[in-house]
Amino acid sequence: MAKKTRSRQDDDPLARTREAPAALPRISLLSAGEGIIREKGFARATVEEISARAGVSTDVFHAHFTGKGALLRALCDRWIEQMSQITEDATRSGIWATSTGPEVVDIAARSAIDAIFEHAHVVRAVLAHGATDPALRGCLKKIGTLLAKRVAKVLKENKRKEDAHIAERHVSFCLLTAIALAHHAILVGAESTGTPFDKDELSSEVSAMIAAYLDGLGSSKPTITGARKVPSRGNIRAATRV
């Protein structure tokens, strides 16, 4: 007989009770946990402190979560749900009908950077512990995949001849670059090369990079090494619709 694999529901038996009255302590624990993690970091947060702030006992905490790891997975899941809904709303059919491909990709990349910095406390903890927790890695992958597919869908719906060379793979690479830089900035620091970058500066440089990369894909003049020529171009102004 094949061995049954444990699901996340086994580790967190009340994970499906978020909408029920019995879930109220769970919601309080999530809010308390996120607040403490924001203030002092995941490693220094304790079950006792989280429980006290939520106004419940540690027994109630353990009735909802097996430990801090389960709480972090729940926080990540909640963030992903929020970001997924925002992504779906922001990429509805027709909203970007008059926008160019680079503009759409640029706004998506900027939005990803903003979301990562805004929830840096959760993302930082997920990145730090994701190496040993596949569920946490899956959380981050889920939103990145959704964003790339939705942006590619917008470009396909727009049917602009000028953007015909931009494939979903290219969109994914642009978003991966933006996300990776944001992850590095909140986990290690944005001054790793000796030059500091704040969030707005990082977003601006990523915009220039995306513009050059996408323009280069459409160039018909390869360089000596066989790579596409990448012309210089200024930053794309962020659209105000998102």
Instruction: Say if residue 10's pLDDT is above 90.
Output: no
Element (H, E) at 15: none
Q: Which residues on neighbouring strands pair with residue 228, listed in sequence order?
A: 222
**Average per-residue pLDDT for the chain:** 83
pLDDT of residue 17: 44
Residue 158: CA atoms inside 13 Å, Cβ hemisphere, count?
24
pLDDT > 50? residue 230 = no
Q: Please check the confidence at residue 132 and state whether its pLDDT lies above 60.
A: yes
- Domains (range + CATH), the chain: 11-66 (1.10.10.60), 75-242 (1.10.357)
Read off the pLDDT of residues 104-116 as tens digits, 9 standing for 90 and up: 999 999 999 999 9
Instruction: Tell me which residue of 135, 114, 117 sits closest to 126, measured CA to CA.
Output: 135
What CA–CA distances, in Å, run from 7 to 13, 15, 125, 168? 10, 11, 22, 31
pLDDT at 183 over 90: yes
Which pLDDT tens digit goes with each residue over 144-154?
999 999 999 99
Distance CA 38, CA 32 (A): 10
Residue type, 51: S
Q: pLDDT tens across 51-88, in order? A: 999 999 999 999 999 999 999 999 999 989 988 998 99
Answer yes or no: is pLDDT of 20 > 50: no
Q: Residue 220: its pLDDT value, please?
A: 53
DSSP summary character for residue 213: H
